[in-house]
Chains A and B, each alone.
Chain A
Amino acid sequence: MFGPLGLSLAPVIKANRGIYRWIKPFANWYVNVAGYRKLGLRYDDLLVEERDDVQRALGRLTDREAYDRSFRFKRASQASVMHVDLPKDQWTKPAEDVRYLQPHVESVAKEDNERRVWDTMAVERKK
């Protein structure tokens, strides 16, 4: 719950087709109002990166992905300084808004959890 990805009901909703059909329009409206796509960003660009586990996950991006992320930040920072959204053709398209960092963050969290389990394991002598 206090991890970088936060508490999410998304898997539950996606599993149920009926609820998904009702909630998806609200989700689309929310994304538009949030406005990160108008600055050319993706959702995973917004993840809190001042955390050790997210830093490790960022180290696992390919060189191309890391470069594209830096470019998006630079472009969004310039737009923010000018207090203007980007022109419409530079907005992030829904097909491009891929969760590229989420799998890496999840695998890092899994590894950290495994390390904690191994560190606190109770070891018994074999009889």
Chain B
Amino acid sequence: MLAVRASAARSASRLTRNFATVVDAAGVKVAAVDNGEPTSSVTFLFKAGSRFENKPGVAHALQNFAYKSTTKRSALATVREAELYGGVLSSSLSREYLALTAEFLRGDEPYFVDVLSSFVTDAKFTRHELQEYVAPVCAAESTVAASNPATRALELAHAIAFRNGLGASIFASEHSHVDVETIKAYASSVFGKSNLAVIGTGISQDALTKLLEKSLGSLSANAAPPSSPTSYFGGETRVDAHSGPQTVFIGFGTTGAPSAELAVLAAHLSPQPSVKWSEGLSPIAASIPKGASVQAIYLPYSDASLFGLLVQGATAEEVKIAGKAAVSALKEVGNIKAEDVKKAVAKAKFSAASTLDGRSSLASVLGSKLLSGPSASVEGIISSIEKVDASALSSAVSSLIKAKPTYVTVGDIKSLPYADELGL
């Protein structure tokens, strides 16, 4: 038993020994690991999420402007050349980070690192590209997000819980227009050397460092854009929606660095079974009616976390029953048995370790560690989860529930329950 448990932390430390974190000569933090895969990837991670935007929707527009014309090559040339090389260019936006990722075959790194760097250093941001390519994509993504009740509930939950900063929505508003000058100004403020972490997989540290020194020489040494520390407020809101399942989000927030106790709590309550078609061992699983579903959601950010249960169902009655079961299970965690804590710790450890497997999630985990401080320790995540015991968990839950809940309902607001009807 002990041997099995220790090996997870050992392989994580092996992973970190492969990563040598170096402050690049160009002033950029670089980490690379090479496990001999046939393809490589390079990710540029900027602290340019929706938290740092100065006007609503700019971060979303900047994310969709990725890989459009630069002074070196046009948008068409970028696409065609990347296709001829056989590579994938993507950009993703979260509340705190903007990630530009290139995945390619081994040996093509000069071209793809150059593509990423030239967007960062001299993108053109032309008005016609915004009008013809970027704005329609932003509008489409925002429309899709608004029609999905789960996404809508989470965006509203962040807005209620954290107000400004983390509360800003990832998606631009469907009908607002950001103009190129705003995007250009935002890009020049967030694209800076001290705001950038470069993570490479399947590529050696020296090769990546050399390429970056060559191409990022002209990048300004901007620091991260200013952001006030997050505070948690909480509240309740009800939104009418006519498509999709009835949705209720019951959330609680904490400020401060993310704690392992909430990760273990999410693993304990999550009805997602480890074996397909089984009911699973979550305390909620048995009491959920047939058409309803409950998801445990844990969203850690650099200085706050949002923990919640997303309850969805075909009718409002099912949602009410499932919501009551979820809230009572959450309150019961104060009397949790030691064996259940062990199960939850194992489940949380596995999900934390498996994020280090995937390329994109590894890049975001490692990049956030690199950008937050000089001592980046990936194995600390798993060892801190191992240390959680029943008393730590129950004290974390009691302090969580004491704060004002964040309660969002999306759907038929005449029939969906209010917060006090569920026992909050």
Chain B interfacial residues counted at CB < 8 A: 9
**A59 CB contacts on chain B under 8 angstroms:** 128, 131-132
The answer to the question of B84 belonging to the interface, with a C-beta cut-off of 8 Å to chain A, is yes
Cα–Cα, bound, A45→B334 (Å)? 77
- What string of 1s and 0s marks CB contacts (under 8 Å) between A109-127 and chain B? 0010011001000010000
**A111 CB contacts on chain B under 8 angstroms:** 74, 76
Which residues 54-78 of A have a CB within 8 angstroms of B? Answer: 59-60, 62
Given contacts A114-B74, A114-B77, A118-B77, contact A60 B128 (CB under 8 A): yes
B135 to chain A, nearest CB (A): 13
- What string of 1s and 0s marks CB contacts (under 8 Å) between B126-149 and chain A? 011001100000000000000000
Chain A interfacial residues counted at CB < 8 A: 8
B179 to chain A, nearest CB (A): 11
The answer to the question of B80 belonging to the interface, with a C-beta cut-off of 8 Å to chain A, is yes
Name the CB-closest residue of A to B74. A114
User: Across the interface, do A115 and B128 meet the contact criterion of CB distance under 8 Å?
Assistant: no
Cα–Cα, bound, A60→B127 (Å)? 8
Given contacts A59-B128, A60-B127, A60-B128, contact A123 B74 (CB under 8 A): no
Cα–Cα, bound, A59→B84 (Å)? 31
Interface of A, helix, strand, loop or mixed by DSSP: helix
Cα–Cα, bound, A114→B128 (Å)? 17
B77 to chain A, nearest CB (A): 7
User: Across the interface, do B127 and A114 meet the contact criterion of CB distance under 8 Å?
Assistant: no
Cα–Cα, bound, A123→B80 (Å)? 12
- What string of 1s and 0s marks CB contacts (under 8 Å) between B70-88 and chain A? 0000101100100010000
**B131 CB contacts on chain A under 8 angstroms:** 59-60
User: Across the interface, do B76 and A114 meet the contact criterion of CB distance under 8 Å?
Assistant: yes
Name the CB-closest residue of B to A60. B128
**A62 CB contacts on chain B under 8 angstroms:** 127
Contact of A123 among B77, B84, B132 (CB under 8 A): B84
**B128 CB contacts on chain A under 8 angstroms:** 59-60
A83 to chain B, nearest CB (A): 39
Name the CB-closest residue of B to A108. B128
Cα–Cα, bound, A59→B76 (Å)? 19
Cα–Cα, bound, A123→B84 (Å)? 8
Cα–Cα, bound, A111→B127 (Å)? 15
Cα–Cα, bound, A89→B131 (Å)? 37
**A118 CB contacts on chain B under 8 angstroms:** 76-77, 80
**A123 CB contacts on chain B under 8 angstroms:** 84
In this complex, which of A62, A115, A123 has the most chain B Cβ atoms within 10 angstroms of its Cβ? A115
Cα–Cα, bound, A115→B74 (Å)? 10
**A115 CB contacts on chain B under 8 angstroms:** 76
Cα–Cα, bound, A37→B223 (Å)? 54
A100 to chain B, nearest CB (A): 14
Cα–Cα, bound, A10→B131 (Å)? 33
**B77 CB contacts on chain A under 8 angstroms:** 114, 118
B330 to chain A, nearest CB (A): 53
Name the 5 nearest CB pairs between A and B, nearest first: A60-B128, A118-B80, A115-B76, A114-B76, A123-B84
| Interface contacts beyond A60-B128, A118-B80: sample of 9 additional A-B pairs, CB < 8 Å, sorted by A | A59-B128, A62-B127, A111-B74, A111-B76, A114-B74, A114-B76, A115-B76, A118-B77, A123-B84
Residues of B within 8 A of A (CB): 74, 76-77, 80, 84, 127-128, 131-132
Q: Return 17 A-B CB contacts under 8 Å, by A number.
A: A59-B128, A59-B131, A59-B132, A60-B127, A60-B128, A60-B131, A62-B127, A111-B74, A111-B76, A114-B74, A114-B76, A114-B77, A115-B76, A118-B76, A118-B77, A118-B80, A123-B84
